[in-house]
Amino acid sequence: MVSEVMEENIYAPVTDTEKEFARHSLHRACQRGSAFLGSEYAILGGAMSWLSERHLVSAISNAGGFGVIACGAMSPELLEAEILATRAMTDRPFGVNLITMHPQLSELVDVCLKNSVGHIVLAGGIPPAAAIKAAKDGGAKVIAFAPALVLAKRLIKMGVDALIIEGAEAGGHIGPVSLTVLAQEILPVIREVPVFVAGGIGRGDAMVSYLDMGASGAQLGTRFAAASESIAHEKFKKAFVRGNARDAVASVQLDPRFPVIPVRGLSNEGSQQFIVHQADVINRFQSGALTREEAQLEIEHFWAGALRRAVIDGDVEHGSVMAGQSVGLVRSVQPVAEIIADLVDQALEAIVRRKRRLDADA
Ligand SMILES: Cc1cc2nc3c(=O)[nH]c(=O)nc-3n(C[C@H](O)[C@H](O)[C@H](O)COP(=O)(O)O)c2cc1C
């Protein structure tokens, strides 16, 4: 048993020599992920619509992570311009995230291939087999989201080269299951392809715990959204710095007949109004003033353009301030390189403390 004195020793300040030793260990644990991505660290900057453009993406890649452009609703022409502009700002690898519902998905894949994008992340549901095949035939690696073990296995059969498992703690569109549980379900089983974990990760020691469980790396979004290089409005960044974990809540659905896509963001005037709006629409449906389809559309329309309003215009009261629970770990606006250096430092300290604990037990 570790005595109180030993416990104190375990948490004593970590020396540079100890950190150097831990660096090799961290490098080994991340090797599969960083070799797959072609980056120094197996840390993906999760694509965030409106935020993950040339400045943030190049800053993440230049700092040793792996930046990912969020294509969102961009046209093929706009995406091509963004890829070229990003390439002008970094000579390191970066990826592109495409939403599978985009009506021009195959043209967007072509744009990525034409511009030698090495990694395509297909988000927003199970990707069509044709998109996976086209991307792979064109020489790109395909990454997809696995929301459950059975889907992870299916995606591997479909040919994806890596998986992201994203917990409900994450910012943006979310599934119902926490990363803690998804990781236990998927990491011990899936060894065929690298698996990256996402959702709620804000510190390097948390990353190490998932690497220990078999993850190949981590994807972070919230932690990078308020970085100095992010083009987000100053008010959006301030909301992140002020926000606590419990402020980042999932959207509320009032009536199961009218499904609401779950999105996690900071609660504000807009999220309160969304509840009132749903109640009003449901009343009008019940009184016969709206058909079911019209009512559903009115509910869905509420958030149209709302992320842009928050990120670009700075309307953090009425816009959609998508953020994960790790927003509570964002305490200042920091350059990306500093955020990554902090994550690496925390990871090294966690490895050192583990070694001290093992040595104390020996
Ligand atoms: C503001 C915001 C916008 C996002 N937009 C997208 C998106 O367009 N496509 C996507 O696949 N994921 C999107 N995400 C999810 C991130 O890529 C990432 O997986 C997630 O933020 C990781 O969890 P974390 O927020 O706890 O770090 C978004 C997240 C945030 C916070």
| From 98, 100, 222, 326, mutation site for ligand 1 pocket: most ligand atoms within 8 A of C-beta | 222
Tell me the per-residue pLDDT of 291-330, one tens digit each, with 9 for 90 and over: 999 999 999 999 999 999 999 999 999 999 999 999 999 9
| Per-domain residue ranges of the chain | 4-220+332-361, 234-326
For residue 117, pLDDT beyond 80: yes
Tell me the per-residue pLDDT of 221-280, one tens digit each, with 9 for 90 and over: 999 999 999 999 999 999 999 999 999 999 999 999 999 999 999 999 999 999 999 999
Residue located nearest, by CA, to atom 20 of ligand 1: 221
For residue 1, pLDDT beyond 60: no
H/E stretch holding 6: helix 4-10
The pLDDT of residue 278 is 98
Cα(48) to ligand 1 centroid in Å equals: 5
Residue 260 CA neighbour count, 13 Å, CB half: 22
The pLDDT of residue 5 is 67
Cα(323) to ligand 1 centroid in Å equals: 8
Band (100; pLDDT cuts 50, 70, 90) = very high
Question: Rounded to whole angstroms, how far apart are CA atoms 129 and 116?
Answer: 21
Tell me the per-residue pLDDT of 325-345, one tens digit each, with 9 for 90 and over: 999 999 999 999 999 999 999
| From 43, 44, 48, mutation site for ligand 1 pocket: most ligand atoms within 8 A of C-beta | 48
Question: Rounded to whole angstroms, how far apart are CA atoms 312 and 13?
Answer: 42
Tell me the per-residue pLDDT of 131-188, one tens digit each, with 9 for 90 and over: 999 999 999 999 999 999 999 999 999 999 999 999 999 999 999 999 999 999 999 9
Residue located nearest, by CA, to atom 11 of ligand 1: 123
Q: How many helical (H) and strand (E) elements, i.e. helices and strands, does the chain have?
A: 15, 11
- Ligand 1 residue neighbourhood (C-beta within 6 Å): 46-49, 51, 70, 72, 97, 123, 166, 169-172, 198-201, 219-223, 225, 322-324, 326
H/E stretch holding 240: helix 234-242
Q: Which atom of ligand 1 is nearest to the CA of 223?
A: 27
What is the CATH architecture assignment of 4-220+332-361? Alpha-Beta Barrel (3.20)
Residue 135 exposed, middle or buried by CB count within 10 Å (0-12, 13-18, 19+): buried
